[in-house]
Amino acid sequence: MTLWRIYQGVDEPHDRIADLPPPPPWREFDGGADGALARVDRDAVGGGRRRLPRRAAYRADERTVDAVNTALYLRRPLLVSGDPGVGKSTLADAVARELRLGPVLRWSVNSRTTLRDGLYRYDSLGRLEDAGLARHQPAPAVDPTRSAGSAGAAGAPPAAPFADLGRYVSLGPLGTALAPYALPRVLLIDEIDKGDVDLPNDLLDVFEEGGFEIPELTRAADQQPTVAVRPHDGGPAVSVTRGSVQCRAFPFVILTSNGEREFPPAFLRRCIRLHLPSAHQDGERLRAIVEAHLPGAGAAAEAAIGAFLARASTGELSTDQLLNAVYLLSPSGGSAGPDRERLVDLVMQHLNDSATGRP
């Protein structure tokens, strides 16, 4: 089974992504030849601004590893559900780190999010302002030695060149993930269940086609067939021809959901689904999580885990709260703070308690 697993859920990064076989015929995409987009900082996460840790702070179980590999092989999005704090978002960093796929592209969804927000941004106001400034620039002096005909009709100066549209277009996280990279990019679409009810259906065509169109560039294709636009992560410019963006390697997409709503069947059948169970009553899993984030916490970890298990049986908690408690109870959190019981009370208040913060 290890040979089948491109992603193995291990600590050390490796290059097994090169062993990923060709996609199924119905998931093949042609985004053009290799070029500058093959050059991605493969050892960075978090938008390219922070380096990967030496030790991965995530532990994937067998079912999670198999779900990730299924999504990789089939070139399908992975829809991950579960309670807050179970590691849904962290999984994207873990996959990017192990497979050395470069910066994780993050798209956080809210009730006002539209598909275009994820694809691209067009600065129409900036273009109008620049056009206005250009019209008020003084006309260049006409060389008297030139023939009258070379200056245009009635001696008018030559027309200004067509504005470079690449200055006004930037790709969003989804649009960047669909650029023609040699290797798949990792895209995290976080809390998709908080988005507009139409967003999952709007994503279907993009996921099926592996690309999208930028109408503002399509309309100007006769004047500017190819435009270099800025990607979301600040990497090399993406060349867009006749307004069309098409991937070469379908990105590894993780969509997270807290289970706040149901999704349409047409959307679900195009996703690989994974539910991460809560670790709130599993002492061994909690110990593994703490050890991954705060190795060597020792007695502080045991004390915090015991308190966490007791409180999780009477209300909703997050593993983030457990990690906060372990840090504060360990020597690294300082020795001059309040007593342990008060610290636990402060950081392990139930999330479903409307009276949080009251004594």
* Each residue's pLDDT expressed in tens, for the chain with a length of 359 residues: 458 899 999 888 999 999 999 999 888 888 765 555 666 777 776 654 455 444 445 778 899 999 999 999 999 999 999 877 777 888 999 999 999 999 999 999 998 999 999 999 987 676 666 666 656 566 555 555 554 444 444 444 443 445 678 788 999 999 999 999 999 999 999 999 998 888 999 999 999 999 999 999 998 888 889 999 999 998 889 999 999 999 999 999 999 998 878 899 999 999 999 998 876 677 888 888 888 778 888 888 888 888 898 888 888 888 888 888 888 888 755 544 557 778 788 888 887 765 444 44
DSSP secondary structure string for all residues of 118-140: HHEEE-HHHHHHHHHHHHTSPPP
The C-alpha atoms of residue 222 and residue 301 are separated, in whole angstroms, by 64
State the fold for domain 16-119+168-276: Rossmann fold (3.40.50)
Length in residues, the chain: 359
Q: Identify any residues that bridge with 51 across adjacent strands, giving them in sequence order.
A: 44
> 297 is written with which tokens?
């916490």
- Please give the angle made by the CA atoms of 121, 125 and 126, to the nearest 5 degrees: 85
pTM of the model: 0.79
Domain ranges of the chain: 16-119+168-276, 124-165, 283-347
Contact 56, 6 (CB under 8 A): no
Distance (Å) of CA 355 to CA 154, 209, 338, 348, 350:
79, 48, 22, 13, 9
The C-alpha atoms of residue 231 and residue 154 are separated, in whole angstroms, by 44
In the block, which residue shows the tokens 């908690």?
A: 317
Q: How far is CA 165 from the centre of its chain?
A: 26
Other Cβ atoms closer than 10 A to 109: 21
